[in-house]
Chain A
C-alpha cells in the first residue's frame, strides 16, 4: 500500500512541472491585437524547462523535455523534432550549469539562464536554417531571445509558487 502510494506520488511529482508549463503557455495563446505576443508563445517552455531542470532535477527529466518538445512542435507548427532537440539542448545545459554553479541564488540563476538560452536559441536558429536550407530572420530570433530573458523573473515566480504549493518531494516520498 505504502509502495503504491509512493509510486503514485512520484508520478504526480513528475507530472506537475510539464502541466504547469502547458497551463501557463495556454494563456499565451489567447489572441491579442499586438504582434509582440507572437514572439513569446514559447517563453513558458524555455523558462519552465530551465527552471525545473536546474532547480528541481528530481522532478524533471529528459522525457519531460522530450514530451514538451513534441507539444511545442505541434502547437507552433514547427517540423516535428526541432523543438524537441531545442528543449533537450536546454535541459542538458541547465543540468550541467546547475551542477557547476550556484543556481539557488536568483541573480545567478537569471544570468545562467541568459547564457543557456542564448546557446539554445543559436542551436535552434542553426537547425531550423539547415532544415529549411534558408536563413531564418535574425532580427525576429533576437527579439524572441531578448523577450525570453526579460520575462524569466516573472515566469520563475510562477514556477516557484507551483513548486512550493504542489511539490514537497522530501516530505512525501523517498527518491526512486
Chain B
C-alpha cells in the first residue's frame, strides 16, 4: 500500500500535547511581555514602534473624511459668527495693547535684575506643531496619536506637548511620521509641579480620570483651591513654568487637581523640544 505524503495523518500524541499547551504558551508570552515592558527593554519599544508604523497611517486615512467634515462645519460656524467675533477681538486687542506696554517695562526691569544677579537662563527651545488624529481617553489609558509630518525626525520621547491651556502630556513613542502622547491624566504620568503662588513642590500623578492627585507635598505646604500648578523643571525632563492643572480640593490628606485642557479641544498641539539633559559621556564625567 502506498503511503500518503502528508505531515500529519491523524492527530498524534505530540500534536495533541502541543495543542493543549499552545494557549498556555501564548499566555506565558503575554505575561513575559508585560514583565519585560515593566523593565523597559528596547525590543518591546521596537515592537510597539513597528506596529505603530503600520497602524497609524491606517488610522489617519480613516479619520480623513471626518476631518474634512469637521473643517467644513467649523468654517461655516466661523462665518456665521464673524461679526460678534470681530467685535470681541477688537475689545481684546485694546486691552492687550495696554498690557503690552506694561510687559515691555517689566521685561526691561527683569533683564537688569538678571544681569545684576548673574542669572543663567533656561535654554531656548524649539517647538513643532502637530495635528491630533486620534485619542484614547478611557479607563485603561489616556493617550493621543499625533501626525508629525516631516518633523518626525526631530521629535524625541519625553518632549512636552502643550496647547493654549498648558501642558497636555509627553511624547511616548515616535514612529515615522506619527507619535503617541501619554496625557497628564494617564495612570503612568508623573509630572513634577510647583504651585504658582506659594512655590511649594509636589508630583502630580494621573489616574485615568479628570481628578489627578498631588503626592509628596512638603510638610507645611500652602496649597489652596483654584491655585495653578506649573511644571517645576526638576529632573530636566520638562521646561519650567508651563501651566499644568488647577487645584480642585486641598484637603489635609489628599490634594486633587484638574487638568487645564479639555479633551474635546485637542486638535492642534505644540511639541516643545527641550534638551537640557546631558549626553551619556557628559553624565559619566559629572558622576
B135 within 8 A of A: yes
Does chain A have a CB within 8 A of B165?
no
- Encode contact with B along A75-110: 1 for CB under 8 Å, 0 otherwise: 111111110110010011000000000000000000
**Within the assembled complex, what's the spacing in Å between the Cα atoms of A8 and B263?**
45
A78 contacts B27, CB within 8 Å? no
A111 at the interface (CB under 8 A from B): no
Q: In the bound complex, do residue B26 and residue A63 qualify as a contact, i.e. CB atoms below 8 Å apart?
A: yes
Residues of chain B from 55 to 75 with CB closer than 8 A to chain A in the complex: 55, 58-59, 61-63, 65-67, 70
Give the segment of B43-51, B90-98, B193-201, B245-253 that binds chain A: B43-51
Q: Contact between B26 and A81 (Cβ–Cβ < 8 Å)? A: no
List A contacts of B142 (CB < 8 A): 77
Residue of B nearest to A132 (CB): B187
Interchain nearest-CB distance for A21 vs B (Å): 13
Q: Does the CB pair A141–B139 fall under 8 Å?
A: yes
Does A144 have its Cβ within 8 Å of any Cβ on chain B? yes
Q: Of A10-18, A35-43, A155-163, which binds chain B?
A: A35-43
Do residues B208 and A140 form an inter-chain contact, with CB atoms below 8 A? Answer: yes
A59 to B30, CA, bound (A): 22
Pick the contact of A136 from B30, B180, B187, B263 — CB < 8 Å? B187
Instruction: Decide if A70 is an interface residue (CB 8 Å cutoff).
Output: yes
Please measure, in the bound complex, the distance between the C-alpha atom of A69 and the C-alpha atom of B30, giving whole angstroms.
Answer: 9
Q: Cα distance A134–B70 when bound, in Å?
A: 37
Interface string of A23-52 (1 = CB under 8 A from B): 000110111110100110110000000000
Interface residues on B, range: 35 or more
Are B48 and A140 in touch, CB under 8 angstroms?
Answer: no
A33 and B187 contact, Cβ closer than 8 Å, known pairs A80-B37, A81-B30: no
From known contacts A137-B209, A140-B138, A140-B209, infer whether A35 and B22 are also in contact, taking CB-CB under 8 Å: no
Question: DSSP majority for the B interface?
Answer: helix
Most buried by B among A27, A39, A70: A70
| A173 at the B interface (CB under 8 A) | no
Say whether B62 contacts A132, CB under 8 Å. Answer: no
The complex places the Cα of A147 from the Cα of B257 at a distance, in Å, of: 29
Contact B30 A30 (CB under 8 A): no
Quick check: A88 and B187 within 8 Å, CB to CB? no
Is B134 an interface residue when CB atoms closer than 8 A count as contact?
yes
Q: Of A30, A42, A65, A132, which contacts B188 at CB under 8 A?
A: A132
**A128 interface contact, C-beta 8 A:** yes
Set of chain A residues within 8 Å of B182, measured between Cβ atoms: 77
A166: interface (CB < 8 Å): no
Please determine whether A131 and B132 come into contact, CB atoms closer than 8 angstroms. no
Partner of A27, one of B34, B48, B62, B143: B62
> Which residues of chain A have C-beta atoms less than 8 A from B61's C-beta?
26
Minimum distance in angstroms from A69 CB to a CB of chain B: 7
If A30-B62, A88-B23 touch, whether A82 touches B136 (CB-CB below 8 Å) is no
Does A80 lie within 8 Å of B207, measured CB to CB? Answer: no
Report how far A70 CA is from B134 CA in the complex, Å.
Answer: 18
User: Given A29-B59, A31-B63, A141-B139: A77 and B180 within 8 A (CB)?
Assistant: yes
Contact check, B138 vs A41: say whether CB atoms are below 8 A apart. yes
Is A30 a contact of B66 with CB atoms below 8 Å? yes
Flag if A85 contacts B27 (CB, 8 Å). Answer: yes
Extra contacts besides A31-B132, A84-B29 (6): CB < 8 Å: A26-B61, A30-B62, A30-B65, A77-B172, A137-B209, A140-B209
**Mind listing 14 A-B residue pairs with CB under 8 Å?**
A30-B62, A31-B66, A31-B70, A31-B135, A62-B23, A74-B52, A75-B55, A75-B136, A77-B136, A80-B34, A92-B23, A132-B188, A136-B139, A137-B207
Which residues of A line the B interface, CB within 8 A? 22, 26-27, 29-33, 35, 38-39, 41-42, 62-63, 65-66, 69-71, 73-82, 84-85, 88, 91-92, 124, 127-128, 131-132, 134, 136-137, 140-141, 143-144
Binding site for A on B (CB under 8 A): 22-23, 26-27, 29-38, 44, 47-48, 51-52, 55, 58-59, 61-63, 65-67, 70, 132-143, 172, 180, 182, 186-188, 207-209, 263-264
| Nearest 4 A/B pairs, CB to CB | A140-B139, A77-B143, A81-B33, A81-B34
